[in-house]
Chains A and B, each alone.
Chain A
Amino acid sequence: MTDRSARSDEYLVDVSESDLESLARDQNPVLLRAVERVFRETVDTRNVTTRFNSSI
């Protein structure tokens, strides 16, 4: 294991709404659903409903 020198949200992957159209055309269902989910999700911690969408 290597320690990282800094923790950064730069590690996260940015997506935009234009990616939705591109992914739909490209027929990448997993990534398309993932991007759709991120855009649907609210940041409000009281909105628990969205947390159940992919739970067993």
Chain B
Amino acid sequence: MPPTPAWPLTATSAAASIFTEFVVKTHSLCNLACTYCYVYEMADQSWRDKPVHISAPTVRKVAERIAEHAATHRLPAIRVILHGGEPLLADADGIASIATRLRDHIEPSTELRLSVQTNGVLLTRTILDALAAHRIGVSVSIDGSQADHDRYRKYRNGRGSYHAVAAGIDLLRSAEYRFLYRGLISTVNLSNHPIRTYEALTEFAPPRMDFLLPHGNWSEPPPGRPDDATTPYADWLREVFDRWYGSDEPQPEIRLFTEIIHLLLGGAPAGEMIGLSAPTVVVVETDGTIEQVDALKSAYEGAAATGMDVWRHSFDQVADHPKFAERKLGVDGLSARCQRCKIVPVCGGGYYPHRYRKTEGFDNPSVYCADLEALIEYVRSRIVSDLSQVRSDA
């Protein structure tokens, strides 16, 4: 177990932390067995101790706590993402019940933007009708073409899930349900050709998509990410960027790239994956326990745990927990190496879970440091070049 920061951090060193995104686990199990899953296949195995379903009283309490937090901070809007495991295992009636309770308690205080992050295999008409009735946006995980997707995203019997996912997405993007379609999320896999992956995803006409770096850290490196200055992930993403940025045809938004550009232009970070941002995301498990961002489960057993829960603690109290507090320090909370780096206004030190090493905890750059540097430098060079061109033409 790595060292934990002393309690409490000084108020002068800690910026206010307001949660605006609440990940609520509706179901702790999953109907797929993806080989790289941080919930089931990595260091933390706490899912085994969680209730399978979130109960009605727990949903009610979660909703009360979120409403309390929104009212305290006068938030005009907050986001709740139904998650898991596979959240749609809660079935249509379960999803409807959860959504109703959340809206009843939260919407008097603030606008609720409700969505679900799903593996896509349960996107039937029955489920989509329930999602539509309760205005729940849908984002689907898919890793590219059938061959590439099925290599890692499989059922427990080893069969690939692509056909079911593709059918679900096709139904989602039909005229009847398209208003629910938020986008696609794909985990970068160096074995998959980047352009083939990108083209496979754009065939589903998503309004937006994102590419996630597979979870790993210095002690458990991501696949194909050696401890050296090579940049395999940047090289992969650069190919997609060139295709996307240079296209004459309208392309879906790719969040990773738009956020890098936004940060390069001096914009504020919109999430925790990149950029210097205080924690804005908090997770509630099926039993009401409150945790940090889920991807921390890739670091060590209990890495995401806070020991707090919705029954005994407000979200303001959670924000004061040392594990959240140490992430509110901005640049001062980063490693010495990051503090000296010119890229840090954009990368923000990289995604927090990716900084872990058994010996130093999270006081490191991201395990993807070389890739982030290369990718950000490349994107910067493109936009500087383009801006120079348009200015000289003006």
Contact = CB atoms under 8 A, between A and B. Distances in A.
A52 B77 CA distance: 9
B268 A28 contact: no
B339 A7 contact: yes
B339 A12 contact: no
Given A12-B345, A26-B389, A56 B79 contact: no
Contact of B341 (A3, A25, A38): A3
Interface residues of B, number: 63
B79 A52 contact: yes
Given A48-B76, A54-B255, A56-B255, A26 B340 contact: no
Q: Taking each of A10, A21, A50, A55, which has the highest tally of chain B beta carbons within 10 Å of its own beta carbon?
A: A55
Interface string A1-44: 10111111111111100110111011011110111011001010
Interface string B241-271: 0001100001101010011011111111011
A8 B270 contact: no
Contacts of A50: 270
Given A3-B337, A19-B391, A55-B255, A30 B342 contact: no
Interface in B12-52: 16, 18, 20
B259 A41 contact: no
B264 A12 contact: yes
A1 B271 contact: no
A37 B383 contact: no
B261 A31 contact: yes
B331 A7 contact: yes
A22 B345 contact: no
A37 B344 CA distance: 21
B60 interface: no
Contact of A49 (B77, B139, B365, B380): B77
B113 interface: yes
Given A7-B331, A7-B345, A28-B386, A56 B340 contact: no
A8 B344 CA distance: 9
A19 B388 CA distance: 10
Contacts of B391: 19, 22
Interface string B67-95: 00000011111110000000000000000
A43 B269 CA distance: 11
Contacts of B373: 1
B393 interface: yes
Contacts of B365: 1
Contacts of A53: 270
A56 B380 CA distance: 24
Contacts of B266: 9, 12-15, 38
9 contacts: A12-B263, A12-B266, A18-B394, A25-B390, A30-B244, A30-B251, A48-B18, A52-B79, A54-B270
Interface of A: 1, 3-15, 18-19, 21-23, 25-26, 28-31, 33-35, 37-38, 41, 43, 45-56
Given A15-B265, A30-B258, A56-B208, 19 more contacts: A1-B229, A4-B340, A5-B340, A11-B345, A11-B380, A12-B264, A12-B345, A30-B261, A31-B386, A34-B261, A34-B383, A45-B268, A47-B76, A48-B78, A49-B77, A52-B77, A54-B262, A56-B115, A56-B139
In the A-B complex, the 7 residue pairs with the closest CB atoms = A22-B390, A56-B183, A4-B342, A11-B342, A51-B270, A34-B261, A38-B265
